[in-house]
Amino acid sequence: MALNRIAESFAAAVADIPDGASIMIGGFGGAGGQPTRLMLALRNHGAKNLTIIGNVAGISMTTGYGWPEGPDAPAPVDQGIFFASGQATRIICSFPVPGTTNPLSEIEKAWREGRAKVDIVPQGTLIERIRSAGAGIPAFYTPTGVGTPVAEGKESREFGGRTYLLEHALHADYALVRAQRADTHGNLQYVGTSRAFGPAMATAAKVTIAEVDEIVEPGGIDPERVGTLGAYVNRIVRREPGDPYP
Amino acid sequence: MTDPARRLNRTEIARRVALDLPDGGIVNLGIGIPALCADLLPEGVELRYHAENGILGFTEMLTKSTGDPNIMEASGNFPKLVPGMAFFDSVESFNLVRGGHIDVTVLGGLQVSRAGDLANWLIPKRGIGSIGGGMDLAANAKRVIVAMEHTTRDNQPKIVNRCSFPLTAPACVDEIVTDVAVIKVTADGLVLMETAPGWSPEDVQAITEPELIVSDTVSVIRQA
């Protein structure tokens, strides 16, 4: 029983998220790897003053980025829902806005109206900050961002004649991740490119919640194919069969 | 008999870039014109395309209605599952990038300077932009090719003495392929290698801010 990680519903899985929490959202951006049902549950839950940590954060609803098309395809959902609802006041991500401003994305709208702070982080630095948080590394040096606005206010140091920036670990209160299969102990198996930020985020948050298509008994995932250790996963929720979201 | 002067279209720019992608190498293509290169490799060239979201070895794209959203590349398209393909998470993906394992990256550009500085993520007037994997790629790929239109919509040079837009990375660009020219970035300055049909080196210079060094072998832009 102590190892059972099953939560009874998406609503129950996010019910304890308080106002002011920091929330990592797995995947890359686009439908694959996005914990869409957990996101919608958090939107319905209503927690406010949230900091969202994502990657390609809010471009699918206006551009269709990474979402299937066709008569049966669902309307895209992205991290912009938390800005449309007024729940999020800050986002930390690498790609907050699409090239086009017509129509304006929810994140850009919130930023223009002064409702949201947007921290834009180079993607490799973002994932390494998250990885570091989960790995017990407080800070690291990277060559990325030297000579750009990203370097402003940061320590730099030369190694072997090249300049590097000091970047710090990025933790969160919660991580919402999407995998295809979980066992009841929380081990996760991913498919295709749905991994992206999920595995590192699962290690960097105090509470990790996984949205999956299928929950199997221990042994139902080949131990060679465990993509995220159950050790990092606090709650798993299974989708209804036939859910239209990828 | 000279050709009437014309600018290359986006596919033709990509067709020129494709000539410079290394047989057997690892290549990352940015959003926009760069992404068009994927389908345009010369006969016999085999390489691995990398995308930031954690895929290596993709080739052709399926449509958004027939493809699998769990097999995506970083421009948001759905490649076909092909033998030899590999999936991995973002930590591994940026080990490849930051670790210097990407042979060539092809990126879009807002401005490129004489020194090869690249600005491609923020238009100051808009005030908000997206970095994505661009800074990691520009700073760490072995070779950086910028594929872009030669001038802005109001015909201002995008190849400039100093970038006025915030940088993506300083002194990172090796080659610029535009709709009117192929230009190499060298320690001596920008060398004009090829021009669009009907364009003289003087025509290209007229819409380029830094002084161009005209190669002895300057030719019409080649096509894969």
- Residues B55-88: tens digit of each pLDDT: 999 988 899 999 999 999 999 999 999 999 999 9
- Condensed to tens digits (0 to 9), the pLDDT of residues B146-189 reads 999 999 999 999 999 999 999 999 999 999 999 999 999 999 99
Residue of A nearest to B97 (CA): A124
Chain B nearest CA to A200, separation (Å): 7
Q: Do B68 and A124 lie within an 8 Å CB cutoff?
A: no
- Condensed to tens digits (0 to 9), the pLDDT of residues A29-59 reads 999 999 999 999 999 999 999 999 999 999 9
Give all domains of chain B, ordered by start, each with its CATH number: 10-220 (3.40.1080.10)
- Condensed to tens digits (0 to 9), the pLDDT of residues B92-128 reads 999 999 999 999 999 999 999 999 999 999 999 999 9
Q: What pLDDT is recorded for position A1? A: 63
Does the reported pTM lie above 0.95?
yes
Contacting residues for B204 by C-beta, under 8 A, at least 6 apart? B150, B180, B181, B192, B195, B212
Interface of A with B in 154-173 (CB under 8 A): none
Identify whether A67 is part of a domain.
Answer: no
Q: Do B98 and A28 lie within an 8 Å CB cutoff?
A: no
- CA atoms within 13 Å, Cβ hemisphere of B180: 23
Contacting residues for A140 by C-beta, under 8 A, at least 6 apart? A128, A132, A166, A167
Q: What pLDDT is recorded for position B68? A: 97
Q: Is the peptide bond before A103 cis (omega within 30 degrees of 0)?
A: yes
- Condensed to tens digits (0 to 9), the pLDDT of residues B43-57 reads 999 999 999 999 999
Could you tell me the CATH number of the domain that includes residue A227?
A: 3.40.1080.10
**In whole angstroms, what is the distance from residue B111 CA to residue B166 CA?**
10
Q: Which of B52, B73, B175, B194 is catalytic?
A: B52
Q: Reduced to 3 states, what is the DSSP secondary structure of residue A191?
A: coil
Task: Supply B191's token pair.
Answer: 């060398």
Q: For a pLDDT cut of 70, what percent of chain B falls above it?
A: 99
Mean pLDDT computed over A202-227: 98
Q: Where are the alpha helices (DSSP H) in chain B?
A: 10-18, 90-98, 134-140, 201-206
DSSP bridge partners of A118: A91
Average pLDDT in chain A: 97
Q: What pLDDT is recorded for position B193? A: 98
Q: What pLDDT is recorded for position A190? A: 98
Interface of B with A in 62-91 (CB under 8 A): 63-65, 67-74, 76, 78, 87-91
Neighbours of A8 (CB within 10 A): 10
Q: What pLDDT is recorded for position A146? A: 98
B28 touches B55 (CB < 8 A)? no
In the predicted model, is pLDDT for residue B3 greater than 80?
A: no
Domain total of chain A? 1
In the predicted model, is pLDDT for residue A178 greater than 60?
A: yes
Active site residue B52: yes
Q: Where are the alpha helices (DSSP H) in A35-89?
A: 36-45, 60-63, 81-84
Identify whether A106 is part of a domain.
Answer: yes
In the predicted model, is pLDDT for residue B1 greater than 70?
A: no
Long-range contacts of B191-195 (CB under 8 A, 24+ apart): B191/B215, B192/B218, B193/B217, B193/B218, B193/B219, B194/B16, B194/B218, B194/B219, B194/B220, B194/B221, B194/B222, B195/B219, B195/B220, B195/B221
- Condensed to tens digits (0 to 9), the pLDDT of residues A120-138 reads 999 999 999 999 999 999 9
Identify whether A178 is part of a domain.
Answer: yes
Chain A nearest CA to B132, separation (Å): 5
Domain residues for the domain of A204 are 18-62+79-120+172-238
**In whole angstroms, what is the distance from residue A113 CA to residue A92 CA?**
18
Mean pLDDT computed over B24-37: 93
Mean pLDDT computed over A175-196: 98
Torsion of CA B170, B172, B175, B180, to 10 degrees: -30
- Condensed to tens digits (0 to 9), the pLDDT of residues A78-96 reads 999 999 999 999 999 999 9
Identify whether A163 is part of a domain.
Answer: no
In the predicted model, is pLDDT for residue A236 greater than 80?
A: yes
Identify whether A166 is part of a domain.
Answer: no
